Amino acid sequence: MKSTGIVRKVDELGRVVIPIELRRTLGIAEKDALEIYVDDERIILKKYKPNMTCQITGEVSDNNLSLADGKLILSKEGAEQLLKEIHDYLEPVK
């Protein structure tokens, strides 16, 4: 993780301002939705991309595959894992 050297305080309503330089760099515009993740003691903000979250791995990417009229979204890794599980399920027990 790369430090930006930017420090912001949380206001009385729990808000934090994301500096314009970071928003421009990350393509975050006014009114854009951000998804919030927690990793141990870290809070991670990520630009929300609806309907592109892999249902197996949780990975969010525009490169994910949409199947069954958008009912199933898979990353490459998620598709590989699903194929292995389907193969194991269909493989006769020896």
Nearest to 78 by CA among 94, 60, 90, 51: 60
Distance from C-alpha of 94 to C-alpha of 91, rounded to nearest angstrom: 9
* pLDDT for position 94: 63
For the chain, the distance separating the N- and C-terminal CA atoms, rounded to the nearest angstrom, is 47
Q: How far is CA 64 from the centre of its chain?
A: 11
Answer yes or no: are the C-beta atoms of 78 and 59 closer than 8 Å. Answer: yes
Q: What angle do CA 50, 54, 60 make, to 5 degrees?
A: 55
Q: What is the pTM of this model?
A: 0.52
Q: For tokens 């949409």, name the residue.
A: 66
Digit-by-digit pLDDT tens for the chain (94 residues) are 788 889 999 999 999 999 999 999 988 999 989 989 999 999 999 888 777 889 999 888 889 999 998 889 999 999 999 999 999 999 876 6
* pLDDT for position 4: 85
* pLDDT for position 17: 96
